[in-house]
Structure formats: C-alpha cells, structure tokens
Amino acid sequence: MAKQDKLVEAITAMDQDFAQWYTDVVLKAELIDYSAVKGCMILRPYGYAIWENIMQNLDRMFKKTGHENVAMPMFIPESLLQKEKDHVEGFAPEVAWVTHGGNDKLTEKLCIRPTSETLFCDHYANIIQSWRDLPKLYNQWVSVVRWEKTTRPFLRTTEFYWQEGHTAHATAAEAQEETLRMLETYATFYRDYLAIPVVRGQKTDKEKFAGAVSTYTVEAMMHDGKALQSATSHYFGDGFAKAFGIQFTDKNNTLSYVHQTSWGLSTRSIGAIIMVHGDDNGLVLPPRIAPIQVVLVPIAAHKPGVLEKVRAVADDLGELFRVKLDESDKMPGWKFAEYEMKGVPLRLEIGPRDLENNQCVAVRRDSGEKVTLSLDNLATEVKRLLDEIHTGLYKKAEDSLNSRIYDAKDWATFTDLIANKPGFIRAMWCGDLACELKIKEETTATSRCMPFEHTANGDTCVCCGKPADKLVMWGKAY
C-alpha cells in the first residue's frame, strides 16, 4: 500500500491549510493545469467532463423553459460598450482590449467580452419590432475574460467558462417573473445535481450587477465557512432597452420599450463541488455530474474468468451509468487510491471468490462503506446506492450550512462572530451604504444577500443602531 499512502499524502489536510488543500486537489485529481497565460487555467479532460455534465443537465433545464441557444461574437466595439453608463463603469477595470489587427492599429478598440449584454441588446434592437416577436429567451455557452488581479482555479480566473442567458419581454411583470424563475432553476440544479443547498436572496445595491435594477443570487457555504456566489439572475427593467433603442409595437399599437433580464452560472460551480463535498483524500463527486459514476476494479485479474466477467458487468452497467473498467496492470491498492482521489462515487471489486458467490464488493466514496451485492440485480442496487450517495451528500451539506448560520443584534456580537465563527451571520441593516462599507472595512465580511426566507432579527441596524427593516446575510466570501 506504499503507493496508495504516498498518493493520499500528496494532499494537504483541509484543517491544516484549506487553500493549499484546494490547490492540491485540483492539480492531483487532474482537473486543471496552469497555462502560459497568467490567471488562465487549462481544463483537463476530467475537469472538462464535469463541466460537460453540468452543461448538459442545465441546458436541458433551460430548454424545458423555452430557452434557445445562440452564439454571439467575443469582441465588443468600444462604442457599443459605452452605451450603458453604469454597465461600462462597472466592468471598465476588468476589461481586456484588442488594439491591433495584425500590424495595423484598429480604428476602434475591441473589448474581449466580460459579459454580453451589449451584444444582445444591439441584436435585439435589430430583430424586435412587434409584440409578436416577444419574448426572446436566449442563452449562450461561452468563455469570457475579466482581468483579475488575484486568481484561483475555478473560483476566479482571467478567462472562465459559463452560460449567460439574455431575455427580452413585453412587460416588467414578465421580465421579473423570468428573473426569479431562472434563480429558482439554479437553486434546483444545485440541489438535484450538485447536492449543494443554497440561500436564495436579493443583492444590496452595492453588490448588484452593473446596470441592473435588481440582482438575485444563490449563495452556498464552503467547508471552511466562507460563502461562494454560485449563480446570479438580474432584472434590468427597460434601462438597457432605452440605451440601445429596443422598441416594439405593443398590442395597442403603441411604441414601447422591452424589459430585460440576464442570468449566469460558471465553472465556479466546480469549485463549489470541490469545497463543499471534498475531504482529505480528494474529490467527492455527486453521482449525477461525476464523469465516472462507477469504476470496476478486477481483483486477481490473471485468474480464469475474472476479466471476462468484469467486462460483461461493465457492458451491462454501461447501458445505464457512466462506467469505467480499469484493466491496467497497476496494483489494486493504487487504483483504489486513484479513484478515491478523483471522487468516483462507487467502486465495484470483483475477484475469484466473488465469481464463486455471484457477487461483487461495492465501496462508497462518500462514507467508505463496503457492501456485498448480488450480480443478479446489480443495476438496481447500483442505482439505489448512487441515489443514496446523492441524498447523503446533500443532507451533510445542509446540516453543515444550517449549523453555521448565526444571529447578531449588536456590533459586539457581530464582530465576535465574524472573527471566531466561520459561517453566515443574519443581522439587520438600515440600508445605508456607509454601514455596509464599514462592515466590510472593519471585518472583511460582505453582504451576501437579503434572504427570501427570513424573520426579522430585531429592528435596529447591527452597525449603527438606527431603525432597520432589512435582514441581511453577511459572510466572508471567495
């Protein structure tokens, strides 16, 4: 077992150095490699396979709600970006510019998209004329570039992959309904596919998207108690429509402006999977997005009939699950450690004795529990175990989240909790930006959201003591 021990030792313990543990996992599990461009990551096949499963499942959910995929250019002319004042000011520090084409200086600089609102607005202004053209429910799967000063794989990179939905509607009510529907879609996806509970809520004006009327978020809690903004949905009203002249003739033959939304989820979600479910042995992947759901490891593969049986089992299970059969000449112990590090939800071992008894040994990644399964109804038992693993991961994460949500009614309690109790703090806020800035400056905590599901926690601001009617979830974040 020397090789297995060495493999696990390559990962720093979470409680010793969480940041280093995270870096060790993304590299040792072969999710990413660093590229020649500072702040940009190479998604290796295993990491990209996770992203593919996220894309496929989320895309299916989008299409069920009537959305269509499109592809916009990656370049935005400077004049187009400048059309919405708040939007351009919000993104200006992060924009990467193209100034030359070959050896020739461009007559107008081109921005490499940090997001695509302006491109969609320009397009919508061309194709929307009548109420019959609405709604427009578009989405695209692309990469975007934001020139970050500090980067970390998946969590914050100069270039990252995501989807961005952009929709146009005839009325404000329809657009607001879309904004919240897509937020709920994200929350459902995190629950049903990533086994991660989230807190739904609205961002404060300071934290909302540049150019939005209102921004809504799903916030997840990581193993170390920090928050991760996991997806956002924005209601734009008609601000962008007025800036870009997106008008239509309504049913009363009156010229009106459309109301818009945008919403997005990125490869940051992979960082959430790692930091919510991982342990000191590496990844723990939720079965529904794991690239390999079941790995089969033959024991004493040289013995008569073992490989033949394992191959037959792999073929049968492969009809229903994402299966890998490892026939390599590596020692079984090394294989066990490798797939444990890669977070494969279920390992099946079959050796000569198992053949005699028409059985296999199943080992769960989440708990390490070993059970003996009959080969006669193996597919049914594998599905049961994978569903149990998903449910168990969600329950564990939910218990962790709920146990680390604290309440504070005064400044002394708030600062003590922030300093000594990693997690989320519910506290009232007067709505004054000065208080929000003071909290961030003195504690490094930020407003994560004003949660939808809440009960007032007093009636005075935790920072200044003045009357307050807004409950805010505060926390330190990635």
- Portions of the chain given CATH number 3.30.930.10: 2-277
Q: What is the pLDDT of residues 32-54, one digit of tens each?
A: 999 999 899 999 999 999 999 99
Q: pLDDT (tens digit, 9 = 90+) per residue, 367-399?
A: 999 999 999 999 999 999 999 999 999 999 999
User: What is the per-residue pLDDT for 10?
Assistant: 80
User: Phi and psi for 420 in degrees, rounded to 5?
Assistant: -120, -10
149 or 350: which leads in pLDDT: 350
Q: How far is CA 380 from CA 138, 316, 387, 443, in A?
A: 39, 12, 11, 51
Mind listing the pLDDT tens digit for each residue in 269-298?
Answer: 999 999 999 999 999 999 999 999 999 999
Q: What contacts 140, CB < 8 A, 6 or more positions away? A: 69, 70, 71, 72, 116, 163, 164, 166
Rounded CA-CA distance 153/351 in Å is 39
Q: What is the pLDDT of residue 464?
A: 97
pLDDT at res. 465: 96
Structure tokens at 39: 């702040």
Higher pLDDT, 84 or 327: 327
* pLDDT(55) > 70: yes
Q: Please, are residues 45 and 63 in contact by the beta-carbon 8 Å criterion?
A: no
**CA 447 to chain centroid:** 19
Half-sphere exposure of 151 (CA within 13 A, CB side): 19
Does residue 316 surpass a pLDDT of 70?
A: yes
Residue 2 has pLDDT above 80, yes or no: no
Give the mean model confidence (pLDDT) for residues 350-364.
Answer: 95
Q: What is the mean pLDDT of the chain?
A: 95
pLDDT at 6 over 50: no
Cβ–Cβ < 8 Å for 195, 390: yes
Residue located via tokens 């970006």: 81
What is the pLDDT, as a whole number, of residue 87? 78
| pLDDT (average), residues 345-362 | 95
Query: What's the CATH code, domain 2-277?
Result: 3.30.930.10
Enumerate the CATH 3.30.110.30 domain ranges in the chain, comma separated.
405-475
| CA dist., res. 112 & res. 96, Å (int) | 6
The domain 405-475 is placed in CATH, from the list 3.40.640.10, 3.60.15.10, 3.30.110.30, 2.30.110.10, at: 3.30.110.30
How many Cβ atoms from other residues are within 10 Å of residue 427's Cβ?
A: 27
Contact 290, 344 (CB under 8 A): yes
Q: How confident is the model at residue 90 (pLDDT cuts 50, 70, 90)?
A: confident
Residue that is written with structure tokens 């026939």 in the block: 327
- Residue pLDDT, tens place only, 215-225: 999 999 999 99
Q: Give the model's pLDDT for residue 1.
A: 38
Phi, psi of 423 (to 5 degrees): 155, -160
Contacts of 429 by beta carbon, 8 Å cutoff, 6+ apart: 204, 435, 436, 447, 461, 462, 463, 468, 470, 471, 472
Positions of CATH 3.40.50.800 in the chain = 294-387
Percent of the chain with pLDDT strictly greater than 90: 91
What mean pLDDT is predicted for residues 232-259?
Answer: 97
Q: Contact 428/181 with Cβ under 8 angstroms?
A: no
Percent of the chain with pLDDT over 70: 98
Angle at 139 between CA 269 and CA 144, to 5 degrees: 55
Confidence of residue 9 (pLDDT cuts 50, 70, 90): low
Which positions ≥6 away from 220 have C-beta within 8 Å?
Answer: 190, 196, 197, 198, 199, 227, 228, 230, 272, 276, 401
Choose between 303 and 456: higher pLDDT: 303
When pLDDT is averaged across residues 197-216 and rounded to a whole number, the result is: 96
Averaged over 210-214, what is the pLDDT? 94
Cα 171–172–177 angle (5° rounding)? 105
Of 3.50.50.60, 3.40.50.800, 3.40.190.10, 3.40.50.300, which CATH number belongs to 294-387?
Answer: 3.40.50.800
CA 328, CA 62: separation in Å to the nearest integer? Answer: 40
pTM summary value: 0.95
With tokens 């200006």, the residue in question is: 92
pLDDT at 301: 79
Q: How, if at all, do strands 68-69 and 136-145 pair?
A: parallel
- Taking the C-alpha atoms of residue 23 and residue 32, their distance in angstroms, rounded to an integer, is 10
Cα angle, residue 29 at apex, residues 28 and 34 outer, rounded to 5°: 65
pLDDT reading at 441 higher than 70: yes
**Residues ≥6 apart with Cβ < 8 Å to 110:** 75, 76, 77, 78, 97, 98
At 162-180, the pLDDT tens digits run 999 999 999 999 999 999 9
Residue 4, pLDDT > 50, answer: no
